[in-house]
Chain A
Amino acid sequence: MNSWPGKLLRVDLTRGTWAVEDIDPQLARDYIGGRGLGTKILYDEVDPAVDPLGPDNKLILLTGPLTATGAPASARYMAITKSPLTGAIASSNSGGYFPAELRYAGFNGIILEGASDKPVALWIKDGEVELKPADDLWGKTSEETEDAIRDQIEDDWEAKATRIACIGPAGENMARLACIINDTHRAAGRSGVGAVMGSKKLKAIVVRGTQGVQTADFPEFKAAVKTAMQKLASGPVTSQGLPTYGTAILVNIINECGILPTHNFQKGMFAGASKISGESIAENIMTRNKGCFACSIACARMTVIEEGKYAGHGEGPEYETVELMGADCGIDDLAPIAKANYLCNFYGLDSISAACTVATAMELYEKGYIPREDAGMDLSFGNPDALVGLIEQMGKGEGLGKIAMHGSWFLANHYGHTELSMDVKKQEIPAYDPRGVQGMGLTYATSNRGGCHVRGYTIANEVLGVHEKLDPLVTEGKAATVKVFQDLTALVDSSGLCLFVTLTPGFGFDDMQAMIKGATGFDYTVHEVIVASERIWNLEKLFNMKAGFTRADDTLPKRLLEEPLTEGGPKGQVCRLHEMLPEYYELRGWDENGVPKPELLERLGLQA
């Protein structure tokens, strides 16, 4: 029997009750799953003006029709909610083993509503559900939480096979940068989804499943998977670059392009770049590379810092983290960066936003806006103890961390200098300076969840030339590129696959359509899945509009629009967003204020 659309678990944390529901097949067809279906559920059930940390917000965890099916990189789930960081829609993605285990346990997703008044943990085993008190887990880090939960399971093999998603102390403290950690090292990282879980006093979700996942037409599905896997195996990024050096292979490449954010985006090149590169990670701190469930790319790095005050072990750092904790904070030593990254995973902080926030704090401090007595330490750029120290404070909600744990905008706002926060819609911008890669500027400005690179990763074409090589300094044609990347990403995120499959030459909507069709049994055409991906993007947009977002929010920090870069290829450049945004709106079928036109909404079936 086909496992999609399958079942959803709806948990009312206020009452401590739950119900099992069938996913409406028509909704599943129109919104694919994962990010798309989660957005639809959130849009239908939650007022976009709701207090994100109040009991009326819902947290929706959804896999996609390809999750756990053995399709390449089919390890992912999405956490969808209203973000406490941005106030916009949040949809954060994570892999590892947890999402697949959830499907094997009989549920394709979980809707969490209400709020418990005491800490609880949600236990799921093969369709059976239990809410257990979790007072003893409250206050524990992600690693300690996993250990404590496994200790409660009598059979060692069973304990080992159990998969856990949880929040750390940051989520408990409702830090707006809190993430949901699964499998200790994987994070549904961005937009503060962990704070929403914390507001519901849900510490952990414990999953074990022995049921299988059945695709609708296995021969058809298998053929589509084979084609996709062959493409992955022949793409240099997915078969060599990422397996060997991980995402941090980008450090040297991006530095050479002059777009490596340095000292809180004051510069685009960093002298110590090679010391924090993927090559350096592989040579100095990596023990193994690792794959998420059913993923041949195996980009994860298992790393260890053997000795010294930064000793520790875990996974990562990934490119964004190593770049932002490194160059953006002026630090060229892997040990403190790896340590700070481990701490982010243990406390449950989004390492991208946390790193950007430290960089902002450093600039605020150097400019004299954060007084020494508030900082409690020397927050100068390049001080590794400041990076590790402030991240620790943010994780624990102590000292300056009490403010910084809410992100760079809240920190900069506290000290009256929001112009030094490098964010879009209050969410921190990742590690590509859009002044030297124009399409990314448009991606950041128009991302429905605020500053984010994985909503339309045009670096693939503008820098890496995966599908075609584009000039990064040109704005012409970028609106169309951004739109296609955004739509394809919406589809991938909804399917349960990892975005990295799109870093394969020739991988596109047709590959996705073939796999999704085989898995779901819906006779999708390529046209239908493209329309579905547009529908998803536009529904997110509608949610944000109802939450109060306007054209004025589709912008970048003043620094990136007005202060030119000073060195390298993009010397003298700013991000020329104004040249791209109107064209983008037009291509999307939106009016000049970025509002979807009635005929578009009708075409997508989104009319009121």
Chain B
Amino acid sequence: MKKILVDYKKCTGCRQCETACSASHFDGEVNPEKSRIRVYIDEENSLFHPVISGPFTNAHCTSKNIVIMDGVEYDECVVCRASCPGRPWFFEPGTKIALKCDFCGDPPDPQCVAICAHGALQLIDDLGVSRIRKQKKKTA
């Protein structure tokens, strides 16, 4: 199985992934609002985080975690993959249909990964969680 490795520290906030995703799924229409990947941008803390859409949920969370990235606390919504009523991402404007990443291409060749110039998104073979962690340690 293929996976997309998201390394937010390499993201530059250019949102080219949003353009590529929407264009490939909507017959050439470039529209970040129709993209199944969105980049969360916190300029004040120099943070860019690509988030790829996962399953639809029809309700808000009743409790949430706090995520710490680069020493800054964020609401979990920032990295959550769900399309939910609490956040306007991953709903098609107008129809409000929830959009979910479909690992486009056969074999998988996600357009967001193909266009990312900085390696923030990479298509990898499923190594298993522990292997990923080990590899990271090796390169660190």
Which one of B16, B33, B41 contacts A294 once the chains associate, using CB atoms below 8 Å? Answer: B16
Given known A243-B118, A288-B46, contact A213–B30 (CB-CB < 8 A) = yes
Which one of B14, B31, B32 contacts A291 once the chains associate, using CB atoms below 8 Å? Answer: B14
A294 engages B117 (CB within 8 Å): no
Q: What is the size, in residues, of chain A's interface with B at 8 Å between Cβ atoms?
A: 40
**A239 CB contacts on chain B under 8 angstroms:** 117
Given known A69-B30, A210-B31, A214-B29, contact A296–B14 (CB-CB < 8 A) = yes
In the assembled complex, the CB of A498 is this many whole angstroms from the nearest CB of chain B, namely: 11
Q: Which residue of B lies closest to A295 (CB)?
A: B14
Per-residue B-contact encoding for A288-325, CB less than 8 Å = 1, 0 else: 11111111101000100000000001000000000000
B14 engages A287 (CB within 8 Å): no
| B113: interface (CB < 8 Å) | no
The segment out of B18-26, B52-60, B99-107 that lies at the interface is B18-26
**A573 CB contacts on chain B under 8 angstroms:** none
Given known A212-B30, A233-B117, contact A287–B16 (CB-CB < 8 A) = no
Q: With the chains together, A213 CA to B29 CA distance in Å? A: 6
> 6 closest Cβ contacts across the A-B interface?
A218-B28, A212-B31, A291-B14, A70-B19, A296-B117, A298-B12
A302 engages B46 (CB within 8 Å): yes
| B87: interface (CB < 8 Å) | yes
In the assembled complex, the CB of A151 is this many whole angstroms from the nearest CB of chain B, namely: 15
B43 engages A70 (CB within 8 Å): no
A70 engages B88 (CB within 8 Å): no
Q: With the chains together, A222 CA to B48 CA distance in Å? A: 26
Q: Which residue of A lies closest to B20 (CB)?
A: A70
Q: With the chains together, A104 CA to B33 CA distance in Å? A: 9
**A298 CB contacts on chain B under 8 angstroms:** 12, 14, 117-118
**A215 CB contacts on chain B under 8 angstroms:** 28, 30
B23 engages A222 (CB within 8 Å): yes
Show the binding face of B for A, using Cβ within 8 Å.
12-16, 19-20, 22-23, 26-34, 41, 43-44, 46, 48, 87-89, 93, 115, 117-118
Q: With the chains together, A295 CA to B29 CA distance in Å? A: 18
Which one of B12, B19, B27 contacts A288 once the chains associate, using CB atoms below 8 Å? Answer: B12
Q: With the chains together, A296 CA to B44 CA distance in Å? A: 21
Q: With the chains together, A210 CA to B93 CA distance in Å? A: 7
B14 engages A213 (CB within 8 Å): no
**A97 CB contacts on chain B under 8 angstroms:** 15
Per-residue B-contact encoding for A272-290, CB less than 8 Å = 1, 0 else: 0000000000000001111
B13 engages A290 (CB within 8 Å): yes
A291 engages B26 (CB within 8 Å): no
Would you list which residues of chain A between 68 and 112 have a CB under 8 Å from chain B?
Answer: 68-70, 97, 104
In the assembled complex, the CB of B105 is this many whole angstroms from the nearest CB of chain A, namely: 14
A158 engages B118 (CB within 8 Å): no
B34 engages A294 (CB within 8 Å): no
Q: Which residue of B lies closest to A158 (CB)?
A: B88
In the assembled complex, the CB of B84 is this many whole angstroms from the nearest CB of chain A, namely: 12
A69 engages B12 (CB within 8 Å): no
B12 engages A212 (CB within 8 Å): no
Interface centre among A158, A161, A185, A291 (most CB of B within 10 A): A291
Which one of B14, B30, B88, B117 contacts A68 once the chains associate, using CB atoms below 8 Å? Answer: B30
In the assembled complex, the CB of A320 is this many whole angstroms from the nearest CB of chain B, namely: 21
Q: With the chains together, A232 CA to B115 CA distance in Å? A: 12
B93 engages A218 (CB within 8 Å): no
A-B contact pairs, 28 of them (CB 8 A): A69-B30, A70-B19, A70-B20, A97-B15, A104-B32, A104-B33, A157-B87, A157-B88, A158-B88, A185-B43, A210-B31, A211-B31, A212-B29, A212-B34, A215-B30, A218-B23, A222-B28, A229-B117, A239-B117, A290-B13, A290-B14, A291-B13, A292-B14, A293-B15, A294-B14, A294-B19, A298-B14, A302-B43
B12 engages A70 (CB within 8 Å): no
| A255: interface (CB < 8 Å) | no
In the assembled complex, the CB of A304 is this many whole angstroms from the nearest CB of chain B, namely: 8
A296 engages B16 (CB within 8 Å): yes
| A347: interface (CB < 8 Å) | no
**B12 CB contacts on chain A under 8 angstroms:** 243, 288-291, 298
